[in-house]
Amino acid sequence: MTGRAFPLVLATIASFGAVALGLAVGDGIDQQWLLAARWTARVGFPVFILTYCAASLVRLWPNAMTRAMLRYRRQWGLGFALTHSVHLFALVTFLEVSGQPPKLLSVIGGGAGYALLYAMALTSNTASMRAMGIWWKRLHAVGMHWLWFVFTFSYFGRIFDPGRMAQGLTLFPICIAALGLRLWAWTKARQKQVVA
**CATH value at residue 179:** 1.20.120
Q: Is residue 176 part of a domain?
A: yes
Q: What is the pLDDT of residue 191?
A: 83
Q: Note whether 136 and 123 are within 8 A (CB).
A: yes
Q: What is the pLDDT of residue 15?
A: 96
Q: Is residue 58 part of a domain?
A: yes
Segments forming the whole domain that contains residue 28: 6-195
Backbone angles phi, psi at 160, to 5 degrees: -95, 5
Q: What is the pLDDT of residue 105?
A: 86
Q: Is residue 1 part of a domain?
A: no
Q: Note whether 74 and 5 are within 8 A (CB).
A: no
Closest CA relative to residue 33, chosen from 52, 46, 20:
20
pTM above 0.75, yes or no: yes
Q: What is the pLDDT of residue 179?
A: 97
Q: What is the pLDDT of residue 193?
A: 73
* Number of separate domains in the chain: 1
Q: Is residue 15 part of a domain?
A: yes
Q: Is residue 183 part of a domain?
A: yes
Q: Consecutive 10-residue runs of the chain (196 residues): their mean pLDDT?
A: 82 96 95 96 95 95 92 95 97 95 90 97 95 96 97 95 94 98 92 70
